[in-house]
Every structure is written in C-alpha cells, then in structure tokens.
Amino acid sequence: MEAFVLHTGFAVPLDRANVDTDQIIPKQYLKSIKRTGFGDYLFDSWRFLDSGEIGMTPNERRINRDFVLNEAKYQGASILLARDNFACGSSREHAVWALQEYGFKVVIAPSFADIFYTNCFKNGLLPVSLSEQEVDALFVCAKQDKRIEVDLEKQCVSVEDQSEFYTFEIAENLKKKMLSGMDDIALTLSQSELIERFEAMHRENQPWLFRE
Amino acid sequence: MNRTLYDKIWDSHFVGTRSDGNSLLYIDLQLLHEVTSPQAFEGLQMAKRPLWRVGANLATPDHNVPTESRELGMAGIKDLISLEQVETLNENCKNFNVQQFDILDKRQGIVHVVGPEQGATMPGMTIVCGDSHTSTHGAFASLAQGIGTSEVEHVMATQCLVQNKAKNFEVRVDGLLEEGVFAKDVALAIIGALGTAGATGHTIEYRGDAISALSMEGRMTLCNMSIEAGARAGLVAVDDCTLEYVRGRPFAPKGELWLRALESWKDLYSDDGAHFDNTLSLQAGNIEPQVTWGTSPEMVCGITSSVPDPMAISDPVVSESTRLALGYMGLEAGTPITDIELDQIFIGSCTNARIEDLRVAAHVVSGKSVAKKIKRALVVPGSGLVKQQAEEEGLAKIFVDAGFEWRAAGCSMCLGMNPDQLGEKEHCASTSNRNFEGRQGHKGRTHLVSPAMAAAAAVAGRFVDVRSFF
C-alpha cells in the first residue's frame, strides 16, 4: 500500500446522502477476479445511460451529461465530496479500488459506512469526516474550482486563498498505518507468537472449534 | 463488571494489541465465496503465505451460480466471466485444501444459509466473510461480520482481524407480533426507525420477548439486515431454541464435547445492568407488514400507508433523496402501497430462503395461482438441502402448481450477478435485503417484503395485507 501524507487537488461534489456501494461499482463488474479494471465503471449507472458490462470502454458508452462527474470542470478531480453515510451497503472492496483507479485520493463526507471506512485504510484512500456545515462550505469551494489541501499529519483540510481550515478526527492507529503505508499482514505476522499462544489456549478451552 | 454479549465475545477472542496499537481479534470461522475471495487468494500466493489454519475456512459458490440447469454443473454457467470466477474458487480451494461445497454438491447454497445448516455456525464464535450479510450468523450469539477482501486475506494469513471495538446498541422489541407479521417486518420496521446509518459504529443486540419468541430462521432474518441499519454485526442471546437448532448438525460437537460446549455457551447473554451506548425500543403489536417504496431499506412503511410526499419533508437532504427515489421507482407521492402494481416476484436470498420462509410462502399460495399479469415468480431455496426438504414436504409442488418457477440454490435475483434479473422499470416484490438502484437489474424497481407478503402479492398482482391470509 502507498503511504498517504498530504494531498492537494480539485474536488467534485456528489450531492446525495446514503450513496451505496452498489452505485459506486455495480454487481456485474464484481465478476472480475482482479483487483484492477474497475475505474472505468465507477458510478456506472449514473455516469452512463446504457447498461454496461465488463470489457466495455467509456468511449463506447452513452454518457449521462447531467451527472456531476461528467461535467468538464470536474475532470481530473482527485477529491470526492459526498454526503452522510457514504458507501453504505455491500462490503465490496471493489468500491475503493474503483474510486482509486478513477483518480480519487481522498473522500470527504460527514459520515461513512463502517466496512467501506475500514476498506479505505487497507488501500491508502483517505476518508475524511467533517461536520455537515464544513462539508457544505467545501461544496461551495469545489464549485468555485478552488484547490483543496488535505494534510493527514496535521489532520487538517484547507482551501487555497482562504485562511479558514477544518480539522478532522481520525483514530491514531489508523492514521499511523496510513502515514507509513505498511503491510498489514506482515505487521501482524511479526507478532505471530502472540496469536499462537492465544490459539493454543482457545483450542484447550473450546476444542470443538478445531475440527482439523 | 457487567458485560454485554458483544463485550463477552470480544473479550474471549481478544488476542492482544499489535505494535501499532491496533487490536487483534481471533477469528474462528471464515466463510468464502467466489466473488470476494479470488484477490485474497492471489495476494497470499504472491506473498507466498500459507493459510494460517486451513480448517477454519469453508467455501461455497453462491453469487454467480445460475439457478437453472444445475444438473449441468459448471457447464451450466453460460457467462464466461462468471464461469472463470467459480472455476477460480474451485482451484483455490483445491490448492489451499479448503473444504468446499461445490456447484454439484447438494450442500451448496448461499453461504449464510449453509453455515448454520451445517452447524459450522455455533454460539460464541467469531465469524467473518467477504459479504456484508455475514451479520446473519449473529442469530446464534456469534460475532459475525462482513469484511472487505484485504481483510479476507488478512484473516487467511493470520486468523485475526485488525479491529477497533464497536459500541453497543440495544434494540428491544417487546410484546407479541400479530399473525401475518414476521421477522422481516420487524427488521424493516427497525431500519425505518433507525435509518440506514442509525447503528453505524455499533454492534446491535436484539432483545425483548418478541425476539425470544422468534425461531432461529426468524432471528437469522433479523440479524441478516443489521447491516442495512449500519451495524456490522447483530446478535441474539443464546437460549434453548439456539441449542436445539445446533444439536446434531454435521459440524456441531457430539457426546462429551457437546456437553462441554453447552457449559461454555450458557453465559452468552448480556449481564443485567450491562451498558448499552444506545437503545431503540419498539412494540411488536404496532408493527404492520412492511413494504419498501424507495431505493434504500430505510424508505419503508406499513402496508396500510402511502408513498410519502417529498414536499412535506422539512429536512432538505431527506426531501431530495425521497424525490430522487420516487423518480427512480416511478411512483407518485400519496399512492397507497396497495395500489403498487407488480411485474415480478422473488422469494429467496440469504435473508429469506430457509425452510420456514418457504413454508409460510407456500401456506399463502396453497391452492391459489400467481396473477396473470406477473411476468415471472421465482422461488429460490437457500441451499440444496433446503430445496430437498421443501420438495419432500410438498412445498415445491404447491409453488409450481400455483405458477411459480422452482429453482436451484443461489443468490439469484437478490443481486443479479447471474441470469436472474429484473427488466428495466419492472417492479418486484422481493424477499431480499436491498432495494438499491439497479441491485436486481439495470433500472429495476425493488420492494422489500416478507416471504408471506411476496407470496400474497404474487397471487394478487399487487401488494395486499397478508394478515388477512392468516
């Protein structure tokens, strides 16, 4: 995983609450056995008017001009602004992969669904929770094409030409993991004696859980 | 200290704190299916890591498998991309020596039906699966959570989940349910009250006499939908009903071990005075049969209600979501729920495809016919064993005689990753768990209901109050 320290970019405002992961990446693309190839299908049924399938490229699709991601001014945006309970529903990590492959480095919203939030930290996509008022203010900035800076070290979001900034909360352990970009599995395995010790005791107490 | 059920299971599986301050939680069982496991197996292979404990994994294909022509096995999967995914699961299970109920095994089925049916799901366990409806298994007082693919790989390699502990949410339902009102209605009523993010960051424990009165199938339906209220896990305390269900199943302990297990399971309930961070309380007697009218499970109301008017909603975000949802669903504000005309009926999914669900639906349609205007009515049992039992009990015949299609086990139209899908703008009375846009097919319109309500809707061609059938 790539480390995340600081990112500056333009934002695209997605003005809908409770966006579910079925919208972020629809079911038909989950048939892929790969971790890549999902960016072209991000928000598929909102970005395109036709029904898509794996293998189709965006230039052979019918574009929905009314969808915010398709507006010319938001091309190249790397920060997604969203509303409450972003990415609820299905646990599909493909949602994170699709957002990253499309070019997003940060998602800012008042709240996120739990599984998506966890999945973000496994891949280096930074989810930032700000208050509704702060997200409202950023919606205005995004529409004015202001550059937004997200500094994880300082836990701070700032906007170009503005003295005001917004600080955000993040669990210390998640922040540390993001800043270092370390391999989660390697880190856990470095303490494998701890797991082995627990497992031996657990096996003793509940042998029916160990059928092998 | 007085602990909740969640606290107890967490404590008994807490391995320790990792060097970076994260908690490690030991996982007893990982259920695998074809969609969210291939990238995890690939990750293991690339890093040359073995499975930490082979016997802690159990696999079955469910999302992609067609529900027709099952006798053809793999050759019945016409979609080549789906085929590759199911083949990949076969290969991975073979290479890593993981037990799998494959497409031709009569124990194959929806992973959340198969686990409990085999007794692989037992009280007090920690269970994960790369599927958000893993919360289903919480019906057995086991901490069961949906996880992402990176977490699947992490559990494969370490038998642990890296997690911060959630808060405790008590959902109480007291009193008695009316005849014709089921666990699905309770689940939808709770989600309607809590909202789709109401329990985010929490583990729900369902309590109260209406919960204790539910069968294990009912409790599974309820826990299954915890994620639709934002909770990764839902729980119900252990009682005799739980133990009776588990007793004698293939994976369950026998003889002396069974007695030891009973002893260990007997305190799987929340202590008196245990602390809950939040509580929601509902009266069972006030819950009507529920129907969703929108594109999120929280957009739900009773059968005697009408589609809401976005103009009458003061919160601008809710008003706008309602307006968008009604546009997608092709519904006018103020339309009585009983006036919604239907095109398809789907009885199935990890929420409602167990034997009890099929018995109730069969009771409603027995001796009646699917309305002429219904283009297709599907019954998809949750596993090969449920299918066999339903056939032995004569339920399959009741469905077929009434005009339903009787299919083989799989996720089917719950998410349309297989040939079972809704057409554009078709309205479906569905016993599944999500009414998200496009979930059951491009531009399809899903209404979530109980199996009894879906069965009654099949007969009437529109929604009717199923309480009159009991």
Yes or no, beta carbons of A84 and B197 under 8 Å apart: yes
Yes or no, beta carbons of B436 and A20 under 8 Å apart: yes
pLDDT digits (tens, 9 = 90+) for B415-448: 988 899 999 999 999 999 999 999 999 999 999 9
- The shortest CB-CB distance from A91 to any of B19, B146, B320 is to B146
pLDDT digits (tens, 9 = 90+) for B63-88: 999 999 999 999 999 999 999 999 99
Tokens of B143: 């901490």
B18 interface with A at CB cutoff 8 Å:
yes
A184 interface with B at CB cutoff 8 Å:
yes
Whether the Cβ atoms of residue B232 and residue B205 lie closer than 8 Å to each other = no
Q: What's the whole-number mean pLDDT along residues A63-77?
A: 97
B64 interface with A at CB cutoff 8 Å:
yes
Instruction: Tell me the CB-side half-sphere exposure of residue B46, using CA atoms within 13 A.
Output: 8
B321 three-class SS: helix
Residues 63-122 of A with CB under 8 A from B: 83-85, 88-93, 96, 111-115, 118-119, 122
Residues 168-207 of B with CB under 8 A from A: 196-197, 200-201
Instruction: Provide ipTM, 2 decimals.
Output: 0.96
CA distance linking residue A205 with residue B10, whole number of Å:
16
CA distance linking residue B196 with residue B227, whole number of Å:
8
Whether the Cβ atoms of residue B319 and residue B310 lie closer than 8 Å to each other = yes
> Which residue of chain A comes nearest to B29, CA vs CA?
A209
CA distance linking residue B247 with residue A24, whole number of Å:
42
pLDDT digits (tens, 9 = 90+) for B97-129: 999 999 999 999 999 999 999 999 999 999 999
Yes or no, beta carbons of B159 and A177 under 8 Å apart: no
CA distance, residue B338 to nearest chain A CA (Å):
27
Query: Dmax over Cα atoms in chain B, in whole Å?
Result: 65
| Dihedral sign from CA coordinates of B447, B450, B454, B457 | negative
pLDDT digits (tens, 9 = 90+) for B355-388: 999 999 999 999 999 999 999 999 999 999 999 9
- Kindly list the residues from chain A whose CB atom is less than 8 angstroms away from the CB atom of residue B265: none
CA distance linking residue A176 with residue B57, whole number of Å:
31
- The shortest CB-CB distance from A85 to any of B196, B253, B417 is to B196
Strands of B178-304 (E only): list them.
202-207, 233-235, 278-283, 290-292, 300-302
A158 three-class SS: strand
Question: What's the predicted TM-score (pTM) here?
Answer: 0.97
> Which residue of chain A comes nearest to B131, CA vs CA?
A91
- Taking the mean position of all CA atoms in its chain, how far away is CA B113? 8
Beta-carbon contacts of A198 under 8 Å, excluding residues fewer than 6 positions away, are B15, B16, B26
Q: State the CB neighbour count (10 A cutoff) for residue B326.
A: 21
CA distance linking residue B96 with residue B304, whole number of Å:
53
| Dihedral sign from CA coordinates of B270, B273, B278, B280 | positive
Tokens of A114: 């739990």
- Kindly list the residues from chain B whose CB atom is less than 8 angstroms away from the CB atom of residue A17: 317-318, 321
Closest C-alpha to B430, from B300, B327, B235: B300
- The shortest CB-CB distance from B158 to any of A27, A31, A188 is to A188
DSSP B330: T
Q: State the CB neighbour count (10 A cutoff) for residue B185.
A: 27
Backbone φ and ψ for A166, nearest 5 degrees, come out as -120, 125
Q: What's the whole-number mean pLDDT along residues B34-38?
A: 97
pLDDT value of residue B71 = 95
Whether the Cβ atoms of residue A211 and residue B55 lie closer than 8 Å to each other = yes
Strand partners, A48: A63
Tokens of B254: 């026998």
- The shortest CB-CB distance from A111 to any of B15, B131, B197 is to B197
Whether the Cβ atoms of residue A106 and residue A130 lie closer than 8 Å to each other = no
A206 interface with B at CB cutoff 8 Å:
yes
> Which residue of chain A comes nearest to B44, CA vs CA?
A185
pLDDT digits (tens, 9 = 90+) for A175-207: 999 999 988 999 999 999 999 999 999 999 999
CA distance linking residue B121 with residue B113, whole number of Å:
10
CA distance linking residue A74 with residue A58, whole number of Å:
16
pLDDT value of residue B296 = 97
CA distance, residue A197 to nearest chain B CA (Å):
9
pLDDT value of residue B63 = 97
Q: What is the DSSP string of B50-86?
A: --S-GGGEEE---SS--SS-GGGGGGG---HHHHHHH
B221 to A43, A104, B373: CA distances (angstroms):
30, 36, 29
CA distance, residue A45 to nearest chain B CA (Å):
8
Q: State the CB neighbour count (10 A cutoff) for residue B389.
A: 18
CA distance linking residue B52 with residue B160, whole number of Å:
9
Counting DSSP H helices and E strands in chain A, the numbers are 8, 8
- The shortest CB-CB distance from A93 to any of B150, B231, B320 is to B150
B227 interface with A at CB cutoff 8 Å:
yes
